[in-house]
């Protein structure tokens, strides 16, 4: 369990109300929110973290609501109803025809829908397993959530068998293929290639991540920054800073969670790297004109003391 996950859970719980029971933390709560709001924030966290990493921190009252929300999930993503009101920047459509732009939006929304669907099923499986363990009964596997997803995982696992590229050429191959897939509007291919990058185990993984981080036209930046945070390679600092400086507001727009949430991606990554260059970057962004960015960077700097 990392400190960053604990802080994200704490942030979500801080939106609860003491009215709902003694199991929520005793602190000043935001007026007018609900357990549903807390549960939905934690379901967002499940898109980038295994529920096993944080669910033990979640109070029983919130767990019950999460169980209610995920209990109605269908077995197949095609039957999953998900409403989203994404806002796209002009750069998202740059150089595209009207038909290409429409297809790109459709593919992007499908990918977002799939991530929400997978996160919901991950929480549902976790809660079901915990419930069955407590009742000392055999855990029954959840139904296959999506044939597409299962095949996708298999394609990631076998990628280099299907593409026998020399290890020294894999970085170049991946960067070229990702750009080609983005240009062609092939979102499934983009998703596959970035998952292959995230699955790399070679010594140059940080180098590949750094380059992919700066590629425009995909929506996997949060996961890439999280992986960079885990690796904590000093070489990533200038790439993180460049992405922040050039694309911060676009990231906040398509993520839809506000500037403060996106600032957390970068503050956690820079803090984990922890080199003088990384700390200097935190100090620089602590003077950012956006209030939420300044607050997040100052908070992360306070953890150095």
* 304 vs 300, higher pLDDT: 300
Residue-wise pLDDT tens digits, 244-264: 999 888 887 776 667 888 898
| Two tokens, residue 237 | 């600092």
Give CA separation, 145 vs 22, 185, 189, 200, 258, in Å: 35, 25, 20, 25, 30
pLDDT of residue 14: 62
Percent of the chain clearing pLDDT 90 (strictly above): 29
Residue-wise pLDDT tens digits, 117-157: 888 888 888 888 877 666 544 444 444 445 777 788 888 88
CB 117 within 8 A of CB 77: yes
Mean pLDDT for the stretch of residues 230-239:
93
Say whether pLDDT at 90 is over 90: no
Give CA separation, 167 vs 156, 160, 172, 202, in Å: 16, 10, 10, 9
Please name the residues in contact with 195: beta carbons below 8 A apart, sequence gap of 6 or more. 152, 156
Residue 66 to residue 13: CA distance in whole angstroms: 13
Say whether pLDDT at 105 is over 60: yes
Residue-wise pLDDT tens digits, 63-75: 888 888 888 888 7
Nearest residue to 231 (alpha-carbon basis) of 264, 272, 197: 272
């Amino acid at each position: 369990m990392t400190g960053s996950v604990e802080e994200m859970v704490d942030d979500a719980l801080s939106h609860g109300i003491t009215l709902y029971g003694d199991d929520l933390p005793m602190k000043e709560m935001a007026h007018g929110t609900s357990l549903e709001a807390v549960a939905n924030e934690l379901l967002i966290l499940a898109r980038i973290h295994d529920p096993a990493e944080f669910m033990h921190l979640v109070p029983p009252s919130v767990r019950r609501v999460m169980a209610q929300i995920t209990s109605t999930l269908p077995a197949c993503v095609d039957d999953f109803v998900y409403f989203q009101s994404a806002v796209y920047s002009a750069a998202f459509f740059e150089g595209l025809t009207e038909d290409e732009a429409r297809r790109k939006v459709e593919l992007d929304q499908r990918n977002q829908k799939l991530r929400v669907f997978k996160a919901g099923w991950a929480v549902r499986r976790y809660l079901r397993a915990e419930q069955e363990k407590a009742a000392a009964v055999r855990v029954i596997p959840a139904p296959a959530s999506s044939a597409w997803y299962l095949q996708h995982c298999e394609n990631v696992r076998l990628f280099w068998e299907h593409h026998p590229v020399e290890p020294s050429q894999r970085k170049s191959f991946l960067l070229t293929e990702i750009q080609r897939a983005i240009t062609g509007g092939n979102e499934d291919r983009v998703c596959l290639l970035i998952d292959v990058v995230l699955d790399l185990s070679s010594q140059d993984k940080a180098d590949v991540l750094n380059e992919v981080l700066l590629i425009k036209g995909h929506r996997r930046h949060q996961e890439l920054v999280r992986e960079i945070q885990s690796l904590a390679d000093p070489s990533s600092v200038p790439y993180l800073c460049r992405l922040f400086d050039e694309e911060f507001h676009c990231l906040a727009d398509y993520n839809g969670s506000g500037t403060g949430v996106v600032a957390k991606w970068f503050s956690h990554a820079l803090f984990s790297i922890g080199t003088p260059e990384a700390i200097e970057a935190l100090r620089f962004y602590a003077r950012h004109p956006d209030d939420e960015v300044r607050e997040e960077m100052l908070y992360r700097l306070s953890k150095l003391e």
